Amino acid sequence: MLKDFNSIPKTDRVIIALDCEADKALSIAYQLAGEASWVKIGMTLYYAYGTDLVKMLKARGYKVFLDLKFHDIPHQVRGAARSAAESGADMITMHTDGGVPMMVAALEGAAEGAANIGSDVPVTLGITVLTSMDDSTLTEIGVCRPMQEQVLCLAGLAKKAGISGVVASPQEASALRKELGDDAYIVCPGVRPLGSAIGDQSRIATPADAFANGASHIVIGRPITDADDPIAAFRAIAAELS
């Protein structure tokens, strides 16, 4: 099914990564309910609060990106994806270097879980290379190809498995858009509004540039959660994008 991402306002394609303590995460999410569309829960909050947190955020009208980055044998990953879909997650992740059979198993599990609760199948995304990595950290783990080749190779595996798209750096988004086509989800972390701290990200772009490069969605965490005023920080990004 072709997805016309451009018909969705860019602000509704900004995903706030709630990588902070639960009270603060809920406070930000509750204050931005109705203004922001997506939130992302990662391992830190999920391992502490589990599906209750997904359900609380869903109850406030959010789409929830549950970023648990599955990487295990296919049987285990099928079960993980089924459970994630049953929790109501709208978007889930897995490492593409787990291989095609593992990604196919995730897709099957996600479909089973969605059927069990009568909802849409979550968007299934493959992680290519973490945006905190660069060529030297890639070499350290034994990958001798240049970054872009490695990203495109892993994205090709995601396409072969039939999952919805990939997570990748904004700097690889335009090459990925060409490789994967118009209807693929390309979700970009490593996004920094001008003037915000880079932190541990090494392949970054501004929100507008990430979309211009071909991102369907962007993920922004610390520039919002670590801001003196997280609500104002989100609103400034939204204003810049509209």
Site for ligand C5P, residues 159 to 218, rule: CB under 6 A: 167, 189-190, 199, 201
Residue among 51, 52, 54 at smallest CA distance from 18? 54
Least distance to ligand C5P, CB of residue 115, Å: 27
Active site residue 40: no
Task: Please provide the DSSP assignment of 116-165 as one string.
Answer: HHT-PPPEEEEE-S-TT--HHHHHHTT--S-HHHHHHHHHHHHHHHT-SE
Q: How far apart are CA 77 and CA 68, in angstroms?
A: 11
Q: How far apart are CA 192 and CA 1, in angstroms?
A: 31
Q: Give the residue, chosen from 92, 220, 233, 238, that forms a contact with ligand C5P under the rule CB under 6 A.
A: 220
Q: Is 17 in the site for ligand C5P (CB under 6 A)?
A: yes
Cα–Cα distance list, 169 to 16, 24, 137, 158, 189 (Å): 16, 27, 15, 16, 6
Least distance to ligand C5P, CB of residue 199, Å: 6
Residue located via tokens 């978007």: 91
Q: Is 42 in the site for ligand C5P (CB under 6 A)?
A: yes
Q: Is 131 in the site for ligand C5P (CB under 6 A)?
A: yes
Q: Give the residue, chosen from 127, 138, 147, 161, that forms a contact with ligand C5P under the rule CB under 6 A.
A: 127
Q: Is 119 in the site for ligand C5P (CB under 6 A)?
A: no
Q: Is 88 in the site for ligand C5P (CB under 6 A)?
A: no
Q: How far apart are CA 118 and CA 116, in angstroms?
A: 6
Residues at the contact surface with ligand C5P, assessed by CB under 6 A: 17, 19, 40, 42, 127, 130-131, 167, 189-190, 199, 201, 219-222
The residues annotated as belonging to the active site are 69
